[in-house]
């Protein structure tokens, strides 16, 4: 391939990698790309440095400055090490490293452990794959200053990533995230990265932490008697080839369940995810094998987890005995209601408890919490902000449950990240609780809507690729700010919340008040009948997302289908008025 076809900056970076102190396999991979003559691929691999963002790194694996590889992960770890050594100067610094099932995750985890150890930092190293929430638990239990999870969550198989955690077991938040980003950006040459390990600084951990973790989460169980009576509840579970298979069947058994039906083809640990298009439990296709197994076995409930076992997909039978997939809002709402009801029945609610959700998650949760005298905190989108609130409230109030619409939930205070292990156990416990009363999870959902209102949510994602797409998304947000619609779906907009400016504006009288949350590029439109649409550009993908929530009273079960259709029509009308 002619060098003249490449951007000069890209060519300079390629030359640096080909002539620098990079290993021979990396250089051969780069040369192969050059020989293939794929301008687009080689440019994408080198046109920028893979950014260490507020959540760490995530990208396609391969050679290049914009790829996940030994050198980009090494630089991230060296930067994080430099930060830890600076702020904990003179103290013993311990970290935990874990990884999921993705291709190269084990290799990358070892590299990360080596770099930490070479910097004099003591490493607890999970050699076998483990769920992300267990890493969060281990950081807290072992008294560590930080931790790293090697995962790209539910991204396609070509991806991998690096999630950095603080001493509270939560993902890094301000000001620590920005301080680490600054340290990483200072790494200008790979010679600054200490790759040679100090072996005595690395200690393997595994089943002893598993045991402690499982013993801890079982303490959150609220319905042991119901489980004893319904222990043969038929549970279909799939980890979709990921880490959920390590602990979730054991967790279900420890909770008391005896009839766990696994999707054996997907219990196989495989970073190529051969049985699904995307290993994402938010996608119906990813649960298709589990649903099929559930039909064959006449199961009660279907549970599916993503590769690092922090998200859960849930399927239940409706009133026609057909399995339906619940979205994240429905699943979390059911979980919150169950926890509030059982805490109340056990006499544990005394006004000193709280729940947490994000601003784009169903507001039926706020309503249910208020009815029980429990405070509901709303955070920015991203579980790290939920974890931040939990850390702030530690020893002040008791956390019951929290989560976000993107299928991430947490029960109990053992971790500071979403936890699919305890979530699976608690969803099964919920099913047993309601079955013990002659009901079902679907009945419980309908009854929840009758009591608190029928809340229906929908997520719309518009993909706008490239520079022009980014500019279009930016312009859309500015248009909404400067020319705010006065009506949505024929209903007045009474409030605009702009989290970027931190101002909430009453659209009827023009009065404003401050929003007590960090700045974030999110807009929320509130209508006079309690409906909400939130607009938010994605921070990791070329998308703008619209989180839509409509609601109406549900007088009785017989009206469910009618109200459901009416809410669909209402939602579509609101989106049309936003030009979507």
Catalytic residue positions, numbered: 153
Cβ partners under 8 Å of residue 475, min gap 6? none
CB 281 within 8 A of CB 311: yes
Which residue, among 495, 454, 501, has the nearest Cα to 478 in the 3D structure?
Answer: 501
Name the helix (H) or strand (E) containing 54: none
CB 268 within 8 A of CB 153: no
Name the helix (H) or strand (E) containing 3: none
CB 263 within 8 A of CB 236: yes
Determine how many CB atoms are found less than 10 A away from the CB of residue 263: 24
Long-range residue pairs from 477-481, CB within 8 A, at least 24 positions apart, any chain: 477/521, 477/523, 477/535, 477/537, 477/544, 480/523, 480/535, 480/578, 481/523
Measured distance CA(506)–CA(241) in Å, rounded: 49
Assign 504 to helix, strand or coil.
Answer: strand
In 369-490, the DSSP E strands lie at 375-379, 398-404, 408-411, 454-463, 487-488
| Residue whose token pair is 């500019």 | 471
Report, in this order, helix, strand and coil percent for the chain, each rounded to 5.
Answer: 45, 20, 35
Assign 209 to helix, strand or coil.
Answer: helix
Locate all alpha helices (DSSP H) within 298-380, ordered by sequence.
328-345, 364-371
For every residue of 465-479, DSSP letters joined together read -HHHHHHHHHHHHHH
Structure tokens at 572: 């579509």
Long-range residue pairs from 349-356, CB within 8 A, at least 24 positions apart, any chain: 349/373, 349/374, 352/397, 352/398, 353/397, 353/398, 353/399, 353/400, 354/393, 354/397, 354/398, 354/399, 354/400, 355/399, 355/400, 355/401, 355/402, 356/386, 356/389, 356/390, 356/399, 356/402, 356/403
CB 138 within 8 A of CB 96: yes
Determine how many CB atoms are found less than 10 A away from the CB of residue 376: 18
Structure tokens at 29: 């991979």
Cis peptide bond N-terminal to 175, omega within 30? yes
């Amino acid at each position: 391939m002619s060098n003249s076809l490449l951007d000069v900056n890209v060519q300079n970076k390629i030359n640096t990698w080909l002539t620098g102190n990079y290993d021979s396999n990396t250089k051969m991979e780069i040369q192969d790309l050059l020989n293939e003559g794929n301008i687009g691929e080689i440019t994408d691999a080198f046109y920028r440095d893979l950014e260490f963002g507020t959540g760490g790194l995530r990208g396609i694996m391969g050679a290049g400055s914009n790829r996940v590889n030994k050198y980009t992960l090494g630089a991230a770890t060296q930067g994080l090490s430099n930060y830890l050594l600076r702020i904990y100067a003179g103290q013993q610094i311990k970290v935990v490293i874990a990884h999921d099932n993705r291709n190269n995750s084990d290799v990358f985890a070892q590299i990360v452990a080596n770099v930490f150890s070479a910097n004099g930092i003591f490493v607890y190293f999970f050699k076998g794959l483990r769920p992300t929430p267990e890493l969060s638990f281990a950081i807290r239990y072992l008294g560590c200053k930080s931790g790293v999870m090697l995962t790209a969550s539910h991204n396609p198989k070509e991806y991998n990533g690096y999630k950095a955690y603080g001493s509270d077991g939560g993902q890094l938040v301000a000001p620590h995230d920005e301080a680490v980003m600054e340290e990483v950006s200072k790494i200008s040459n790979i010679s600054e990265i200490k790759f040679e390990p100090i072996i005595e600084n690395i200690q393997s951990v595994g089943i002893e932490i598993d045991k402690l973790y499982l013993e801890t989460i079982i303490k959150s169980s609220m319905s042991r008697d119901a489980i004893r009576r319904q222990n043969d509840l038929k549970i279909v579970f799939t980890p979709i080839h990921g880490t959920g298979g390590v602990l979730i069947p054991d967790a279900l058994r420890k909770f008391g369940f005896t009839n766990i039906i696994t999707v054996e083809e997907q219990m196989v640990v495989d970073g190529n995810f051969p049985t699904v298009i995307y290993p994402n439990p938010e996608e119906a296709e990813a649960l298709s094998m589990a649903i099929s197994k559930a039909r064959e076995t006449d199961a009660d409930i279907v549970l599916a987890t993503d590769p690092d076992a922090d998200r859960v997909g849930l399927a239940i039978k409706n009133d026609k005995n057909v399995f339906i997939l619940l979205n994240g809002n429905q699943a979390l709402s059911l979980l919150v209601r169950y926890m509030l009801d059982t805490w109340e029945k056990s006499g544990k609610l005394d006004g000193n408890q709280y729940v947490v959700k994000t601003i784009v998650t169903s507001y039926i949760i706020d309503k249910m919490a208020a009815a029980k005298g429990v405070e509901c905190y709303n955070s920015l989108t991203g579980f790290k902000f939920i974890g931040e609130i939990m850390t702030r409230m530690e020893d002040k109030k008791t956390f019951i449950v929290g989560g976000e619409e993107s299928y991430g939930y947490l029960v109990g205070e053992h971790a500071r990240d979403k936890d699919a292990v305890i979530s699976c156990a608690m969803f099964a416990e919920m099913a047993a609780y309601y079955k013990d009363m002659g009901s079902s999870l679907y009945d419980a959902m309908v009854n929840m809507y009758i009591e608190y209102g029928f809340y229906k949510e929908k997520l719309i994602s518009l993909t706008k690729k490239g520079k022009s797409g980014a500019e279009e998304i930016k312009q859309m947000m500015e248009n909404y700010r400067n020319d705010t619609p006065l009506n949505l779906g024929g209903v007045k907009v009474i409030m605009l919340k702009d989290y970027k400016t931190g101002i909430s504006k009453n659209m009827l009288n023009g009065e404003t008040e401050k929003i007590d949350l960090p700045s974030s590029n999110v807009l929320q439109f509130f209508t006079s009948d309690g409906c909400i649409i939130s607009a938010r550009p994605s921070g990791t993908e070329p998308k703008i997302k619209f989180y839509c929530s409509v609601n109406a009273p549900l007088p009785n079960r017989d009206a469910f289908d009618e109200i459901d259709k009416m809410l669909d029509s209402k939602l579509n009308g609101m989106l049309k008025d936003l030009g979507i």
